[in-house]
Amino acid sequence: MLCLECPYCGVAAEETDLHPGGEAHLKRFGPESSDDDFTGYLFHRENPKGVHFERWRHVNGCGKWFHAARCTNTLEVFGTYSAQTTEPPKDLLDTIRAKRPGFTWRDIA
């Protein structure tokens, strides 16, 4: 059972206090978008063995959504950060690059 620190209330939240929200930083495509763009947005997801960026909600807690960067293989958590961003913070990426040289995720490297 994972334990993630909510960046809003600071609580180290048990997985049972959290609601998973799938892959982070999806760009929404609306009515004017192409079939390919929309299909990608709605259905295509990363499935890495390694570094992953996810959305979680502290649902049985402060109720806030947040982002988590973690390793799906070793369960290491690199950090949690605000939901109000379209990309991971730079210092977090630097931390991950130092710990996992050469990692890639979508167009992040």
Partner 1 sequence: MSTRVQTQGRLINRDRPVSFKFNGTLLNGYLGDTLASALLANDQMLMGRSFKYHRPRGVVASGSEEPNALVGLGEGDRFEPNQRATTTELFHGLTATSQNHWPSLNYDVGIVNNTLSRFLSAGFYYKMFIHPRPFWKHIYEPFIRHSAGLGKAPDSESRDADRYEHFYAFTDVLVIGGGVAGLQSALTAARAGAKVLLLEQTAHLGGRAPVDGGTIDGMDPDAWVAKACEELDALPNAQIRTRTMGAGVYDHGYVLGYERLTDHAPEASGPRHRLWRIRAAQIITATGAIERPLSFAGNDIPGVMLASAMRDYLVNFGVSPGDRTVVVTNNDDAYRTAIALVQAGLKVPAILDARPNGGGALMDDAKALGIRVETGAAAVKVKGAKRVHSVCRGVQAGDGEVLEEIFCDAVAMSGGWSPVVHLWSHCGGKLFWDEGQAAFRPDHARAPTSHDGAPFVITAGSADGEMHLNAVLQNAANAGKTAASAVGAAKGDAAAPSGDAPDEAPLVPVWMMPQGAPRKLRTKSWLDYQNDVKVSDVQLAAQEGFESVEHAKRYTTLGMATDQGKLSNINGLATLSHALNEDIPQVGTTTFRPPYTPISFGAIAGEARGEIFQPIRKTPMHDWHDSNGAHWEPVGHWRRPYAYPQPGETVEDAVQREVLATRNSLGLLDASTLGKIIVKGPDAGRFLDMLYTNMMSTLKPGRCRYGLMCTENGFLSDDGVVARIDEDTFLCHTTTGGAESVHAHMEEWLQTEWWDWKVWTVNATEQYAQIAVVGPNARKLLEKLGGMDVSQDALTFMGWADGALAGLSVRVHRISFSGELSFEIAVAANLGRALWDKLVEAGQQWNITPYGTEALHILRAEKGFIMIGDETDGTVIPQDLGLDWAISKKKTDYIGKRAQQRSHMVDPKRWKLVGLETLDGSTLKDGAHAIADASNENGQRNTQGRVTSTYRSPTLNKGIAMGLVLNGPDRMGEVIELTAGGDDTVKAKIVNPVFFDPEGAKQNV
Stretch that binds partner 1, among 23-31, 44-52, 101-109 (CB under 8 A): 23-31
Instruction: List the one residue from 23, 40, 48, 65 that touches partner 1 (CB under 8 A).
Output: 65
Per-residue tokens: 56: 């979680």
What is the closest distance, in whole angstroms, from the C-beta atom of residue 71 to partner 1 in the complex?
A: 8
Stretch that binds partner 1, among 15-23, 45-53, 101-109 (CB under 8 A): 15-23
Give DSSP secondary structure letters for the chain: --EEE-TTT--EEEGGG-EEEEES-PPP--TTS-HHHHHHHHT-----SSEEEEEEE-TTTT--EEEEEEETTT--EEEEEESS-SS--HHHHHHHHHHSTT--BTTB-
Residue 84 binds partner 1, judged by CB under 8 A: yes
Q: Which residues pair with 32 in a beta bridge?
A: none
Instruction: List the one residue from 6, 51, 71, 93 that touches partner 1 (CB under 8 A).
Output: 71
Residue 47 binds partner 1, judged by CB under 8 A: no
Stretch that binds partner 1, among 44-52, 61-69, 101-109 (CB under 8 A): 61-69
